[in-house]
Amino acid sequence: MPNGSLLKWLHPDAIPQRDREIEIQKLTLLQRISIAIDVASALDYLHQHCQEPILHCDLKPSNILLDNDLSAHIGDFGLSRFYQAVSNPTVSSSIGVRGNNWLSEYGLGSEVSTNGDVYSYGILLLEMVTTKKPTDVMFEGGLNLHNFARMALPDHVMDIVDPMLLNDDKVLVGTDNHRRSQTRTNSTLECLISMVRIGVACSMESPQDRMNITNVVHELQSVKNILLEPKTMFNKQTDN
């Protein structure tokens, strides 16, 4: 893909200079929401709209590929399985050991299901918002990315998100522009809280407590609309 993997965009410092095919810029909040919707929509298709549900089993930033428009595509189906083919305990543990976030999900022999992909998606979404890897050295003992994000809801989300997302737009001056800027700031915070909440809901410890991926798509679409609304209103006022 022309724009490489999501890993390069979230953690450019982790990529050796010689392997950087393109100049990496920080993704905006709107771009991250759009990517999150693309990935959730792809999972929804794999889980709900194929003849048999397909499990990806290794959802992580390096397997999310970005095209020219930064639209996201899920890649590397090397560990993917048809649900019916892996719905027995003899296969689940091997997938858990080989997979990424599935290790904590199925490494202990839990039943394989679409909920495993949802769990990995939740961790992916939290990583996109915080730019913290689930393997970060700060996560030890009982602390992990899920708990880190859950404890920040709802009043301390600004303390854990990528600081760049809080400064997405240029500061506007003047009374009217200040009001628009404040509206934009409120919308940004509302969107960030919603994204963290969805990420936490998808990565709950109990599979039965996790959010349905179809609902994830709908909620993220609503989040995107909230973010776009102030910009749309501003453009209409400018045109008038």
CATH of the domain at 47: 1.10.510.10
Is residue 152 in some structural domain? yes
Is residue 29 in some structural domain? yes
Is residue 47 in some structural domain? yes
Is residue 1 in some structural domain? no
Domain count for the chain: 1
Q: Which of 38, 44, 58, 162 is catalytic?
A: 58
Is residue 46 in some structural domain? yes
What's the chain look like in SS3?
Answer: CCCCEHHHHHCHHHCCHHHCCCCCCCCCHHHHHHHHHHHHHHHHHHHHCCCCCEECCCCCHHHEEECCCCCEEECCCCCCEEHHHCCCHHHHHHHHHHCCCHHHHHCCCCCCCHHHHHHHHHHHHHHHHHCCCCCCCCCCCCCCHHHHHHHHCCCCHHHCCCHHHHHCCCCCCCHHHHHHHHHHHHHHHHHHHHHHHHHHHHCCCCHHHCCCHHHHHHHHHHHHHHHHHHHHHHHHHHHC
Is residue 35 in some structural domain? yes
Digitized pLDDT (tens) for each residue of the chain, 240 residues in all? 889 999 999 998 876 666 555 556 789 999 999 999 999 999 999 999 988 889 998 899 999 999 999 999 999 876 666 655 545 444 443 333 334 454 445 433 456 688 999 999 999 999 999 999 999 999 988 899 999 999 999 999 999 999 999 876 543 334 445 555 566 788 999 999 999 999 999 999 999 999 999 999 999 999 999 999 866 554 555 555
Is residue 24 in some structural domain? yes
Whether residue 176 lies in the annotated active site: no
Range of the domain at 234: 6-239
